[in-house]
Structure 1
Amino acid sequence: MPPVTEQWEDILSTRFALGGSHPAVRAVAAFSAESGLFATAGREGEDGRQFFGGGAGQGDRQPPVETDHSPDRAEMAALWTAGEDPGRPPMLRLAGAEWRREELDRITDAVTGTELDLALLRDGNRVMWVARTGRGICVLVLVDGDDEGHAAEARSLTLDFDSFLVGQGY
């Protein structure tokens, strides 16, 4: 079931209230094994794809990137493994940044009762949460900085969106 990108971008913007009452969240994205990175949204109308995918959009402060740095299926699959090499955690490359997984939890969604995977990724002083639903859809939530309050807020929003996805049949 291939998602319609425009609808998902609207859903991401609406559910995460980007630019509204949740200023800690910089951008969000949705990924599926079928479609790859299929929807992004940024705070205050900013092009979210620059944080997760290839080149920056028109008017962005960053110059365009010549190669696509969107996650691929293998990288996303590796993110959910326990890690073959205990000295080196799984890594995900997004838009030229190397995100290292710090935590991986299997939790039960309080609203839907479904099991889901939740990973905390870090790139320097930036934090990102990634949740994976039962149907292989992943939600990525990028936070400004690594303030613990911002990270906790983003984690909550990630779980909220996952509950929404499950409610929609994903």
Structure 2
Amino acid sequence: MSGEHVQGQFVDRGIEGVAAIAVAGLAGGIGFGAVLYAFGLLESVGILVGRPGLILGLSLVMAASVVGAFAYRLLGTLSPLEEDVTDPITGLTLGACFGLAVWVLGVALALPLWLRPLGWTPPVPYLHWQSLVALLVYGALIGPASPLAERYVRF
């Protein structure tokens, strides 16, 4: 998860690799949050934990973005896509595909079930186009940001 591909071998970079993935997640989170804010939806993210609010919404978006970046890199290292995930150009496409997959699994399918105990009853599938745009932007940012951060984050 935190390393680089060198002559067919995975090289662990330790804390630098972890920091690089977190930086990529934060970069994606900025785009994700900006899109949600532009649509007027950032405050409503707090509803997921029962407390709407701008600061809580932004905090949840940034935390989820970092976790998502680790999931993106983990999926890349566990699959035959590792060399593609470590390239910024193909990372753009793979990241957008990751954003789409997160939207389908997370927003369209899981979110309606999560919100039912909180008194909200969106349909399943929940076709929320604004979150689709936000997650596509997120993926398109973490895809290239992940390998670039791994190249340039050094202590």
TM-score range, shorter chain: 0.3 to 0.5
Which of the pair has the greater relative contact order for Cα pairs under 8 Å at 6+ separation? 2
Higher-helix-fraction structure: 2
